[in-house]
Amino acid sequence: MFYQGYLIDPGANNTYQNRLDATTVTKQRVSFTSDGKITQWTFAYGGSYKNKLYLGGSIGFVGLSYRYSSALNEKFLTRMPM
């Protein structure tokens, strides 16, 4: 990926040299969005028998939804060495 993108070049002894150096000026912009929700449903029922026996029960369901997306844009402001 880096070789096809011309970011590295093979050098002597099959080593790689970076085409970008510390003086290369870039403008970077990152944007992201995220949203989500949590939902909950609960059903319950209770009762008594002759005010001596009390019974009850419940069941609950929880739902989770989350979405995240990001984008990175990069622009070289100085000319890269060839």
Are the CB atoms for 48 and 54 separated by under 8 Å? yes
pLDDT, position 46 = 96
pLDDT band at 75 (very low <50, low <70, confident <90, very high): confident
Determine the straight-line distance between the first and last CA of the chain, rounded to whole angstroms. 18
The pTM for the full model equals 0.44
pLDDT in tens, 22-74: 677 788 899 999 999 999 999 999 999 998 999 999 999 999 999 999 999 98
